[in-house]
Chains A and B, each alone.
Chain A
């Protein structure tokens, strides 16, 4: 019992630290990639190549004067960023970060909890994530904040539907909700038993899921909640110091987690090609698999940033039309097609 708790504790701590580290360096990567795409240099003063920039940013956030508006609802004003951060970190529990490590004959899984409702847990966390933004925006007692919060909630609810529907097709195909089992079903692939990643069978579902992930993370081209030209700073207009930092940081954590979920569901998770044909022992495969998983995540984080600095922001009616009139019908068609194909394949 004690060793079990110790192992889960170490694993949770490691994943928490890793999430925060990746999120911190995503801010640095975002600025470097923006600079690259816009033909600038980007941050290069703090340390070699500006590698200490996230530390400097964090320190600045903490040292800044903290302002809580007099007319705001103080308790909820503080609660908002807390909820945003908490829900962003909660989804990491369910993701299989790697296979199993065998030490002294005991098998240790690199996943904190393998719930049998797996993917539904992720949806639950995502759906309460919107409260951080809504409560913060309302408690600021500022009309721009309130408008930003209302936009955020409408957008997130609309895109959650399409996201859920796109996942249903995948669940019909795999027959399980557990993320670990979904990953295990994608083992092998090129060179092995030609057991392909899910993206090969579910290209439409993948595209819908990806677009919805952008909307759920409030990333460009869906960053209407913090649209500077119309809403000053959107829901975090009144925030300063580390509370603003929490909101911005939660966005990067969400990006990291959704990259991990996309990699798990559609790109084989910790599986990599030829993994069972190289004659490596179990632990080496696990470690290489985790490395491969993080490479996939890094690619998707880069993809998020690439889109941000390439595509301009949507207008609000365009956003709603895309969500309700394009993505939801497409997702329903995808479910229908998947069902038909499975019936004809007699599975």
Chain B
């Protein structure tokens, strides 16, 4: 039962990931990417990581992809107006992506021997995950939060307009 579900979810994930790349319309690409995220969330549930699955859906499918869709709808990309890349560039991109895949496959191939330091059965449950994060992995956890904070400060700085605030221009009208 579980193995069938695994194959089904993997099929959905790979198939929709391919469609992300091959669809002509960027809005369709985003929608297929959302389906891929749902399939991956399904994998997390199969691995007893329900918390991770929920957070994955909330953050990736629910927030980040909404912003992607938002931007693509605003830009309204068409196949006519889109600049076309030359064949040389496409060739180079394909080779780079292929090399990256070889590196990833090579690094993951050796990792099946590595045992994860916490192979608790219910590590995905919120209580166990929280305990592990705040004891064994406290430093990486804190560093990741500082990284996110820095990214947020950067985004706010970029989003801030250098023009005078909007309410002043309004009153001058």
Q: Tell me the minimal C-beta distance from A37 to chain B in angstroms.
A: 34
- B125–A116 CB distance below 8 A: yes
Could you say which residues of chain A place their CB within 8 Å of the CB of B54? 117, 120-121, 123-124
- B58–A124 CB distance below 8 A: yes
CA of A182 to CA of B74, assembled, Å: 42
CA of A156 to CA of B67, assembled, Å: 11
User: Does A177 lie at the interface of the complex (its beta carbon under 8 Å from any beta carbon of B)?
Assistant: yes
Interface string of B42-75 (1 = CB under 8 A from A): 0000000011011101100111001101100110
Within 8 A of B (CB), among A115-139: 115-117, 120-121, 123-124, 126-128, 130-131, 134-135, 138
Interface size on A, residues (CB 8 A): 26
Known: A116-B126, A124-B57. A134 touches B63 (CB 8 A): no
Q: Tell me the minimal C-beta distance from A226 to chain B in angstroms.
A: 17
Majority-rule SS of A interface residues:
helix
Within 8 A of B (CB), among A146-170: 146, 149-150, 153-154, 156-157, 160
Could you say which residues of chain B place their CB within 8 Å of the CB of A127? 57-58, 61-63, 66
CA of A126 to CA of B62, assembled, Å: 8
Could you say which residues of chain B place their CB within 8 Å of the CB of A116? 50, 125-126
- A131–B66 CB distance below 8 A: yes
- B66–A153 CB distance below 8 A: yes
Known: A120-B58, A127-B62, A128-B57. A157 touches B67 (CB 8 A): yes
Closest CB pairs A-B (n = 4): A127-B62, A120-B54, A124-B57, A117-B54
Q: What are some 14 contacts across the A-B interface (CB < 8 A)?
A: A76-B31, A116-B126, A117-B51, A117-B53, A124-B61, A127-B57, A127-B62, A131-B69, A134-B70, A135-B31, A138-B27, A146-B73, A160-B62, A317-B166
